[in-house]
Amino acid sequence: MAEHRLGFIGVGRMGSRMARRLIEAGHDLAIYDSSATAIQPLVELGATLFESPAAVGSACEIVMVSLPTPAVVEAVALGPKGIAEGSRVKIFIDTSTTGSVAAQRIARSFAAKGILAVDAPVSGGIAGAEKGTLAVMVSCPDEILVKVKPILEVLGKVFVVGREPGQGQTMKLLNNLLSATAMAISSEAVVMGVKAGLDPRQIIAVLNAGTGRNSATEDKFLKAVIPRTFNLGFSLALLSKDVRLCLKEADVLGVPMVVGNAVRELISIAEASEGPNADMSELVKPVERRAGVVIK
């Protein structure tokens, strides 16, 4: 077993897979989630269920979270019965995507209670979480990195992108902006090709052999769009949230986002037509609808 009990809060699609890897690596995991269904498989693997985030914070020196939005992260971290009310917690690791502003605000509140916050957002999706091949974007002081790096290496490759709160979050937003942009522009390109009479699999094969290849053509179209499974496991609502957070930070920094704003607009159109819980790969559907063709 690990030297200290490790806390993990938020065991949904990503969190459950990360928590499983930590248990299998020998960590004595204390967990909490609002969903009993999500918790049960991990309890069966040996995790211990606690009744609140505060209870996890009283059992563990290090508490990790994997949660959907900045508001939920703040509530779990600092709200009533939140992690900050725990008597033992010293380090808070956030693997969620919250943006730098929320991360800095949370870090300041924790610091007042003697708790150090670590940015550790992840990229690589459900498959990466299962395989332990996530990209983990860490920002924290060097003396804390020594303590948390062995834990985070269970989840994937650790990239130390900074020392200050929020820097890891900024890196994650850059990644997700590019991921969303690749999906958006690839949707338009492949729909155009199909309407011109080209075979979608041939389009993808040529793009992936040339300079047009990207994360959407190499993975998402073959896995989710052409077979019409739309099952990447990341919703349009979450994609929209990440892009909006990125554009907001860009505005504060004075960086123009002409393409980024166009991507946000297409995501908004897709959210309205397909629903916020639709898979991010369904971004292609409003483009297909306007063009009068279907990629298959």
In a domain, 141, yes or no: yes
Q: What per-residue confidence (pLDDT) applies to 3? A: 43
Please list the active-site residues. Answer: 172
Q: Based on the domain organization, do 160 and 174 belong to the same domain?
A: no
- The span from the CA of 101 to the CA of 239, in Å, is 18
Which DSSP state fits 277?
A: T
Q: Based on the domain organization, do 147 and 233 belong to the same domain?
A: no
Decide if 168 contacts 162 (C-beta within 8 A): yes
- What's the pLDDT tens digit per position in 63-115? 999 999 999 999 999 999 999 999 999 999 999 999 999 999 999 999 999 99
Q: What per-residue confidence (pLDDT) applies to 97? A: 96
Q: What per-residue confidence (pLDDT) applies to 296? A: 87
Q: What per-residue confidence (pLDDT) applies to 86? A: 97
Per DSSP bridges, beta strands 48-49 and 29-32 are parallel
- The span from the CA of 157 to the CA of 169, in Å, is 16
CB burial of residue 215 (10 Å; 0-12, 13-18, 19+): middle
Which has the closest alpha carbon to 92: 114, 113, 116? 116
Decide if 284 contacts 263 (C-beta within 8 A): no
Domain that holds residue 250: 170-291
Provide the mean pLDDT of the chain: 96
Examine the fold and report which residue of 133, 149, 164 is the final residue of a domain before the chain moves on. Answer: 164
Which has the closest alpha carbon to 152: 165, 166, 174, 133? 133
Q: Based on the domain organization, do 25 and 79 belong to the same domain?
A: yes
Q: Number of structural domains, the chain? A: 2
pTM for this prediction = 0.92
- The span from the CA of 248 to the CA of 112, in Å, is 27
Taking the CA of residue 223 as centre, how many other CA atoms within 13 Å lie in the half-sphere pointing to its CB?
A: 14
In a domain, 1, yes or no: no
Q: Based on the domain organization, do 127 and 238 belong to the same domain?
A: no
CA angle 44, 46, 51 (to 5 degrees): 85
Residue 266 maps to which CATH number? 1.10.1040.10
* Backbone CA torsion sign across 211, 239, 243, 148: negative
- What's the pLDDT tens digit per position in 218-263? 999 999 999 999 999 999 999 999 999 999 999 999 999 999 999 9
Residue 108 maps to which CATH number? 3.40.50.720
Q: Based on the domain organization, do 192 and 102 belong to the same domain?
A: no
Q: Based on the domain organization, do 12 and 158 belong to the same domain?
A: yes
CA 173 to chain centre: 10
CA angle 159, 165, 169 (to 5 degrees): 55
Decide if 91 contacts 62 (C-beta within 8 A): yes
Q: What's the token pair of residue 277?
A: 């819980």
Q: What per-residue confidence (pLDDT) applies to 65? A: 98
Give exposure, 160-180, as e/b (b: 16+ Cβ within 10 Å): ebbeebbbbbbbbbebbbebb
In a domain, 296, yes or no: no
